[in-house]
């Protein structure tokens, strides 16, 4: 019982050094593939380390060298598959470059962005990736810039904070979606966008407005407060119910993202409207399940995984010392036309 292998008896470099009959410095040199070690000693050390099941203590290493190969990724709503896909892109690219990802969730159920960032900084992470910024976060980001901590903004951008950003041209996406809706022949169209303090949400709504206007259509809820709102299913449901109650002649409701659109679909069902016969519904994002058989939601296909992948690539370059001017990378998108907006007469 006394020979129990507890966590305190973990093998360290000192253990390896002792067994191999060399100094700790040589163990470190061998493990880090530095030059100046005779091949024999090197392989002996490696063999001993392996035999003992040695694993480097990341805490000690990072404390010593003052750098970390772990990056922080903050995500607002883990339950939104859009962010799951984006995270996969980040994680995959990180793995390819031997980086790890510390994923933190921001939201009512978890911590505020400030708390998350504090946690990231307390761990001295090498760099940060943000998915859902608002202009209110500008100060936080500027603090990071002062401390020379590299970060990349994904999807949403923040005014006045010049830094790498990856996303799509949400405005043009909105225009394309608006044009598509107009082409289906619907004239009475409402839009239930995301929060107005998200630059992406605002651009999407602006684009949708313009795409429709080019075809002589004005949003019926243009000056109503429901034009913007929380990007949740519940909010989409509530706002859609409200619209449908007041005006049953609506021919189409566009959600600022797919999750909102799901809420709109819920409301249509509860109100007994069938899609697309009675009413058309569209979203934005193309989250995984939007293409599910019965859902079949028309949406703007945002390259979610690629945004994560390129964002991570940008971040790695910054951590590796790249010091060029901030980049803004617009990725191509598509309008995924599905049956939720099929022409009425079909």
Partner DNA sequence: CTGAAAGCGCTTACAG
Q: Using CB under 7 A as the criterion, which residues of the chain lie in contact with DNA when the complex forms?
A: 8, 10, 12-14, 21-26, 28-29, 31-32, 36-38, 40-42, 54-57, 60-61, 63-66
- DSSP 8-state assignment for residue 285: B
Please list every residue from 142 through 161 that binds a second copy, using CB under 8 A: 146-149
In the complex with DNA, the residue whose CB is nearer, 99 or 130, is 99
Q: Which are the contacts of 80, defined by CB distance < 8 A and separation ≥ 6?
A: 231, 257, 259, 287
The helix or strand, by DSSP H or E, that contains position 306, with its residue range, turns out to be helix 304-319
Report the partner that residue 13 touches, choosing among a second copy, DNA, none (CB closer than 5 to 8 A by kind): DNA
- Show the tokens assigned to 110: 């978890």
Q: Write the interaction track for a second copy spanning residues 287-306; mark x where CB under 8 A is met and - where it is not.
A: -xx-xxxxxx----------
Question: Mind giving me the DSSP string for 51-95?
Answer: HHT----HHHHHHHHS--SEEEEEES-TTSHHHHHHHHHHHHHHH
Nearest to 127 by CA among 99, 107, 146, 106: 99
Write down the least CB distance from residue 80 to a second copy, Å.
Answer: 8
**Residues 6+ away with beta carbon under 8 Å from 104:** 72, 73, 74, 75, 110, 111, 116, 119, 120
Label residue 21 left, alpha or beta by phi (over 0 means left) and psi (-120 to 50 means alpha): left
Q: Residue 97: what are its φ and ψ, rounded to 5°? A: -110, 20
Residue 109, burial from CB neighbour count under 10 angstroms (0-12, 13-18, 19+): exposed
Smallest distance, a second copy to C-beta of residue 118, A: 7
Residues 6+ apart with CB under 8 A from 167: 153, 154, 155, 156, 157, 200, 307, 329, 330, 331
- The residues near 17 (Cβ < 8 Å, ≥ 6 apart) are 23, 24, 26, 27
- Binders of a second copy among residues 175 to 204 (CB under 8 A) are none
| Residue nearer to a second copy on the CB measure, 112 or 215 | 112
Is 252 among the residues that bind a second copy (CB under 8 A)?
A: no
Query: What's the closest the beta carbon of residue 242 comes to a second copy, in angstroms?
Result: 17
- Closer to DNA by CB, 25 or 162: give it: 25
Considering the rule CB under 8 A, would residue 55 count as an interface residue with a second copy?
A: yes
Binding partner of 296, given DNA, a second copy, none, CB within 5-8 angstroms per partner class: a second copy
CA nearest to 341, candidates 297, 302, 301, 300: 297
Residue 31 found at the interface with a second copy (CB under 8 A): no
The distance of closest approach from Cβ of residue 269 to a second copy in the complex, given in angstroms and rounded to an integer, is 4
State whether residue 134 is helix, strand or coil: coil
Compare residues 11 and 103 and give the one whose CB is closer to DNA. 11
Return the residue of 29, 87, 201, 286 that touches a second copy, per CB under 8 A: 87
Among 59, 160, 223, 345, binds a second copy (CB under 8 A): 59
Nearer to a second copy among residue 50 and residue 270 (C-beta): 270
- The smaller minimum CB distance to a second copy, of residues 292 and 346, is found at 292
79: contact with a second copy by CB under 8 A = yes
**How many Cα neighbours within 13 Å face the side chain of 63?**
5
- Taking the complex as a whole, how short is the minimal distance between the CB of residue 291 and a second copy, in angstroms? 8
Residue 146 binds which entry of DNA, a second copy, none, with Cβ cut-offs from 5 to 8 Å by kind? a second copy
Q: Count other Cβ atoms within 10 Å, centred on residue 294.
A: 6
Catalog residues that contact a second copy under the rule CB under 8 A: 4-8, 10, 55-60, 62-63, 66, 78-79, 81, 84-85, 87-88, 91-92, 95, 100-105, 109-111, 118-119, 121-124, 146-149, 233, 262, 265-270, 275, 288-289, 291-296
């Amino acid at each position: 019982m006394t020979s129990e292998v507890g966590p305190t008896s973990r093998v360290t470099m000192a253990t390896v050094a002792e067994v191999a009959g060399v100094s700790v410095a040589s163990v470190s040199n061998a493990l880090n593939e530095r030059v100046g070690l005779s091949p024999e000693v090197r392989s002996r050390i490696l063999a001993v380390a392996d035999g003992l099941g040695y694993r480097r203590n990341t805490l000690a290493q990072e404390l010593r060298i003052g750098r970390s190969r772990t990056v922080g990724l903050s995500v607002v709503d883990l339950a939104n598959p859009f962010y799951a896909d984006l995270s996969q892109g980040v994680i995959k690219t990180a793995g390819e470059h031997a980086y790890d990802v510390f994923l933190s969730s921001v939201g009512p159920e978890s911590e505020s962005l400030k708390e998350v960032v504090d946690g990231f900084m307390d761990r001295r992470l090498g760099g940060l990736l943000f998915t859902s910024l608002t202009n209110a976060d500008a100060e936080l980001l500027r603090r990071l810039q002062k401390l020379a901590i590299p970060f990349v903004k994904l999807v949403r951008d923040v005014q006045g904070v010049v830094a790498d950003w990856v996303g799509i041209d949400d405005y043009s996406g909105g225009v394309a979606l608006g044009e598509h809706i107009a082409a289906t022949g619907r004239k009475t169209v409402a839009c239930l966008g995301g929060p107005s303090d998200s630059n992406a949400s605002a651009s999407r709504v602006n684009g949708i407005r313009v795409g429709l206007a080019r075809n002589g259509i004005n949003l019926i809820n243009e000056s109503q407060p429901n034009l913007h709102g929380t990007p949740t299913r519940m909010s989409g449901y509530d706002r859609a119910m409200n619209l449908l109650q007041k005006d049953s002649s609506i021919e189409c409701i566009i959600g600022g993202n797919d999750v909102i659109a799901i809420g709109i679909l819920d409301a249509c069902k509860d109100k007994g409207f069938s899609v697309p016969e009675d009413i058309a519904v569209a979203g934005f994002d193309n989250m995984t399940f939007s293409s599910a058989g019965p859902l079949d939601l028309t949406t703007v296909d945002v390259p979610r995984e690629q945004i994560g992948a390129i964002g991570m690539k940008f971040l790695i370059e910054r951590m590796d010392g790249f010091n060029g001017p901030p980049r803004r990378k617009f990725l191509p998108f598509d309008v995924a036309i599905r049956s939720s907006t099929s022409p009425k007469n079909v």
